[in-house]
Amino acid sequence: MLSSAGCVLALAGVLAAAAYAVPRAEYSYDGGFEGEGTDWGVVLVEVPLILLGGFALPPLTWAAATRHLRPWAAALVCLAVVALGLWGLDAVWHPPQAPRGYERGI
């Protein structure tokens, strides 16, 4: 059971990162009117790196924490590290947003 915790944490981490990053980067994917605002740096570099970090950070934290702590305490450490990672990402990462009054579609 404990050996599969890293895989479960990796899945949960990438889902949390995707739930955070993809809606914020929606305008970069959509691009607005005729795709003028498509930001390929966000689409091809930033969001995949965020997803990779969300995939790698929880199992690495779990592996480091279980060496010195009990499993329940290691899970709390993993949760705290993911929360701090998302908080730091929120403080630093600002992808282009839609102009005021922009609505998707016609």
Per-domain boundaries in the chain: 2-92
CA-angle at 93, arms to 6 and 87, nearest 5°: 50
Percent of the chain with pLDDT over 70: 87
pLDDT of residue 56: 92
* Interval 42-65 mean pLDDT: 91
Among 69, 54, 66, residue whose Cα is nearest residue 9 = 54
Mean pLDDT over each residue of the chain, to the nearest integer: 85
Residue 66 vs residue 38, higher pLDDT:
66
Q: Tell me which DSSP letter residue 45 carries.
A: I
Task: Centre a 10 Å sphere on the Cβ of residue 17 and count the other Cβ atoms it contains.
Answer: 24
Confidence class for position 14, pLDDT limits 50, 70, 90: very high
Burial of 38 (0-12, 13-18, 19+ CB in 10 A): middle
pLDDT digits (tens, 9 = 90+) for 18-46: 999 988 888 777 776 676 767 888 888 99
Give me the mean pLDDT over the 33-61 stretch. 86
| Residue 87 pLDDT | 93
Residue type, 70: R
Is the confidence at residue 106, as pLDDT, over 60? no
Q: Are 52 and 21 in contact (CB under 8 A)?
A: no
